[in-house]
Amino acid sequence: MMLDTRKKILIVGLGLIGGSYAKALRKLGFRISAITLNREDIDYSIENGIIDEGFTEVTEESVSEAELIIFALYPKTFREWIEKYQHFFKSGALITDVTGVKSSVVYEIQEMLRPDVEFIAAHPMAGKEVYGVQNSDPKIFHGANYIVTPTDKNTESAIEDCLELGRLMGFERVSVLSPEKHDEMIGFVSQLTHCIAVSLMNCYDGEKLQDYTGDSFRDLTRIARINDEMWSELFLLNKETLLEQMDKFLLEFGKLRKTLETGDRETMREMMKISTARRALFDKK
Amino acid sequence: MMLDTRKKILIVGLGLIGGSYAKALRKLGFRISAITLNREDIDYSIENGIIDEGFTEVTEESVSEAELIIFALYPKTFREWIEKYQHFFKSGALITDVTGVKSSVVYEIQEMLRPDVEFIAAHPMAGKEVYGVQNSDPKIFHGANYIVTPTDKNTESAIEDCLELGRLMGFERVSVLSPEKHDEMIGFVSQLTHCIAVSLMNCYDGEKLQDYTGDSFRDLTRIARINDEMWSELFLLNKETLLEQMDKFLLEFGKLRKTLETGDRETMREMMKISTARRALFDKK
């Protein structure tokens, strides 16, 4: 069904991710329209062949023809949008998103949504340290994970279509997780790692640090360049799960600290062996 | 003085770093001999033009002609070597090392050393997740830092020669720090980051983790593949400083955790802004 390029796709929010979706899908032959706040982003995107048409206002005209609508907005803006404008949706439309947290978003949106449209949530685990449609690039999807998080309100065909969307755009691994499992996993592999990087950069105000750093510090703090507006919202929307993950990390870090304090070299080496074996699994892939 | 390629160089310990030193220096025209435990490492190195001659035993013949001796051993082995074999040194020889911690090594070696030879300590901040002379490659020095850590026992000419050695081998930044400053800095940018990566990999035993991870987790845990024998020795030799760095990190991480727990979004964003600004300094370079 997805491969039917007569389907009209609307992207709401034309930033880095929205723009990368647009580029990937238009290349496949889909007709892409977009709604985004800034006129210059629309102009840039039309001039560069990223979208076919664009709007800065949400109107019946801009929404009602789309059969697939992709929301690439911050979670709270996404919810407000649905509340305010869902009466414009075409009956039978399929809605998906790119939001980085799920439990706190999916159920609420599905609850408030008109019964004749379906929302199937997805998380493209891709990004860059730069923003805006001007930096969009579907290559960020290559080698990346795309996770669909259905609930029991979703139909099999919507789940399949959403998975197909991920495959079509070039994601390497496409999978299904419950919203709760997704948030636990993302709390660990993404949010906790960002917490660590931010804390680490807050530790040291030495300006000359860059003169002495090796690759390890550079790699570890790359993600310390963070969009504070977006990430603070995502952290707070995943509060309980992220607190759990932070506490798990604190437990292990504390254990390692204790081996150092007491000179327990055997336990220290044991922890290093575990980390080495587990990390080696990644490099095999 | 360093550029005088008639100078004979001996490398003790022909692993990843020793081998990379050998390759870089031989290319410049120096005659390189090496002492290392395994005969096959010697054979490999001679066959591949990495060294001119090699020995598996420490004898007068293998040591006494060298004018510059580079120790690429674990700290404790280095100390034992000096105790046992320093009578073989040629009078006037210059000794340097590659050890990753300094305060606990430099003073002790200088204290026990014959008065007619000089030890000037250095730390090449370069490495790989693989070991052995077979993986050695002087390209790991490009873009990397090389730090000389003199004490008041060192002469100006030895400091200059040691800095020149770093430049000749292709390090991008060559600098001087006191052993104490070095250990503080390395405790932060290298040891603490390895502690974090090890703790993080110890948190989670899910085998399927690699199916869901993005680049951030991959980058952050690259250094979780760690040589437990070497790193546990280095951690314990820098115990007090590393404990301080771990505690500084715990303080900031705890502060961030608190902003999440109490929903203090403003302070959370403030920490993110600080980390973003500080990390941006690195990317400018």
- Position A75 scores a pLDDT of 93
Higher-confidence position of B220 and A270 = A270
> Residue B99 — left, alpha, or beta (φ > 0 → left; ψ -120 to 50 → alpha)?
beta
- Position B208 scores a pLDDT of 67
- Position B206 scores a pLDDT of 63
Query: Tens digits of per-residue pLDDT, A138-163?
Result: 999 998 999 999 999 999 999 999 99
SS3 B185: helix
Query: Tens digits of per-residue pLDDT, B50-64?
Result: 999 999 999 999 999
Question: Which residues from chain A sit within 8 angstroms of residue B261, using beta carbons?
Answer: 239, 243
For B253, the token pair is 């991480």
Whether B256 sits inside 8 A of A232 (CB atoms) is: no
Whether B275 sits inside 8 A of A212 (CB atoms) is: no
- To the nearest 10 degrees (0 to 180), the angle between helices B228-237 and B239-262 is 90
Closest approach of B92 to chain A, Cα-based (Å): 31
Whether A256 sits inside 8 A of B201 (CB atoms) is: no
Rounded CA separation B90/B64 (Å): 5
Share of chain A above pLDDT 90, in %: 84
- Position B50 scores a pLDDT of 97
Closest approach of A34 to chain B, Cα-based (Å): 27
Query: Tens digits of per-residue pLDDT, A194-230?
Result: 999 999 999 977 666 766 777 778 888 888 999 999 9
Whether B232 sits inside 8 A of A269 (CB atoms) is: yes
Query: Tens digits of per-residue pLDDT, B154-174?
Result: 999 999 999 999 999 999 999
Whether A203 sits inside 8 A of B248 (CB atoms) is: yes
Rounded CA separation B40/B269 (Å): 56
- Position A85 scores a pLDDT of 98
pLDDT classification of A116: cutoffs 50, 70, 90: very high
- Position B171 scores a pLDDT of 95
pLDDT classification of B142: cutoffs 50, 70, 90: very high
- Position A266 scores a pLDDT of 97
Pick the closest to residue A49 from A8, A19, A73, A7 (CA basis): A19
Classify strands A122-125 and A145-148 as parallel, antiparallel or unpaired.
antiparallel
For B244, the token pair is 């301080």
| Least CB–CB distance from A232: residue in B129, B210, B265 | B265
Q: In sequence order, which ranges of B28-102 are alpha helices (DSSP H)? A: 39-47, 60-63, 75-85
Contacts (Cβ under 8 Å, ≥6 apart) of B131: B15, B16, B227
Dihedral sign for Cα atoms in the order B69, B72, B75, B78: negative
Backbone angles phi, psi at A147, to 5 degrees: -120, 125
Q: Mean pLDDT across the stretch B253-270?
A: 98
Query: Tens digits of per-residue pLDDT, B94-112?
Result: 999 999 999 999 999 999 9
| Least CB–CB distance from A219: residue in B145, B222, B229 | B222
Question: Which residues from chain A sit within 8 angstroms of residue B257, using beta carbons?
Answer: 195, 243, 246, 250
CB atoms within 10 A of CB A46: 14
Looking at domain A182-284, its CATH architecture is Orthogonal Bundle (1.10)
Cβ proximity of A189 and B217 under 8 Å: yes
pLDDT classification of B204: cutoffs 50, 70, 90: confident
Nearest CA in chain B to A145: B212
Nearest CA in chain B to A197: B275
Torsion of CA A109, A156, A51, A134, to 10 degrees: 70
Nearest CA in chain A to B280: A225
- To the nearest 10 degrees (0 to 180), the angle between helices B239-262 and B179-186 is 40
SS3 B33: strand
- What top-level class would CATH report for the domain B8-177? alpha beta
Whether B197 sits inside 8 A of A177 (CB atoms) is: no
Which of A210, A235, A247, A262 best tests the B interface by mutation, with the highest count of B CBs <10 A? A210
Pick the closest to residue A147 from A112, A128, A120, A117 (CA basis): A120
Closest approach of A133 to chain B, Cα-based (Å): 21
Find the distance separating the first CA and the last CA of chain A, reported in whole Å: 32
CB atoms within 10 A of CB A217: 23
- Position B33 scores a pLDDT of 98
Q: In sequence order, which ranges of A214-264 are alpha helices (DSSP H)? A: 215-221, 228-237, 239-262
Cβ proximity of A203 and B226 under 8 Å: no
pTM above 0.80, yes or no: yes
Share of chain A above pLDDT 70, in %: 96
Question: Which residues from chain A sit within 8 angstroms of residue B189, using beta carbons?
Answer: 209, 212-214, 216-217
Rounded CA separation B198/B217 (Å): 12
Q: What DSSP string describes A94-155? A: EEEE--S--HHHHHHHHHHS-TTSEE--EEEE---SS-SGGG--GGGGTT-EEEE---TTS-
- Position A208 scores a pLDDT of 67
Burial of B37: CB neighbours in 10 Å, binned 0-12, 13-18, 19+? exposed
- Position A253 scores a pLDDT of 98
Residue with tokens 């790989």: B128
| Least CB–CB distance from A276: residue in B228, B246, B269 | B228
Pick the closest to residue A54 from A64, A42, A38 (CA basis): A42
Higher-confidence position of A89 and A283 = A89
Rounded CA separation B20/B138 (Å): 5
pLDDT classification of A282: cutoffs 50, 70, 90: confident
Cβ proximity of A271 and A259 under 8 Å: yes
Query: Tens digits of per-residue pLDDT, A57-84?
Result: 999 999 999 999 999 999 999 999 999 9
- Is the per-residue pLDDT at A285 higher than 60? no
Nearest CA in chain A to B266: A232
| Least CB–CB distance from A211: residue in B173, B201, B223 | B173
Rounded CA separation A55/B177 (Å): 58
SS3 B66: coil
Cβ proximity of A74 and A230 under 8 Å: yes
- Position A284 scores a pLDDT of 63
Pick the closest to residue A222 from A193, A187, A192 (CA basis): A193
Asked if domains B8-177 and B182-284 share a fold, the reply is no
Cβ proximity of A136 and A16 under 8 Å: yes
SS3 B206: coil
For A137, the token pair is 């690039």
Give me the residue spans of the domains in chain A. 8-177, 182-284
pLDDT classification of B177: cutoffs 50, 70, 90: very high
Whether B220 sits inside 8 A of A127 (CB atoms) is: no
- Position A204 scores a pLDDT of 79
Dihedral sign for Cα atoms in the order B150, B151, B152, B158: negative
Give me the interface pTM, i.e. the ipTM. Answer: 0.89
Question: Which residues from chain B sit within 8 angstroms of residue A122, using beta carbons?
Answer: none
pLDDT classification of B72: cutoffs 50, 70, 90: very high
Count Cβ–Cβ pairs < 8 Å, chain A vs chain B: 277
Rounded CA separation B88/B2 (Å): 22
> Residue A23 — left, alpha, or beta (φ > 0 → left; ψ -120 to 50 → alpha)?
alpha
- Position B2 scores a pLDDT of 59
Question: Which residues from chain A sit within 8 angstroms of residue B249, using beta carbons?
Answer: 199-200, 203
> Residue B12 — left, alpha, or beta (φ > 0 → left; ψ -120 to 50 → alpha)?
beta
SS3 B42: helix
Whether B198 sits inside 8 A of A256 (CB atoms) is: yes
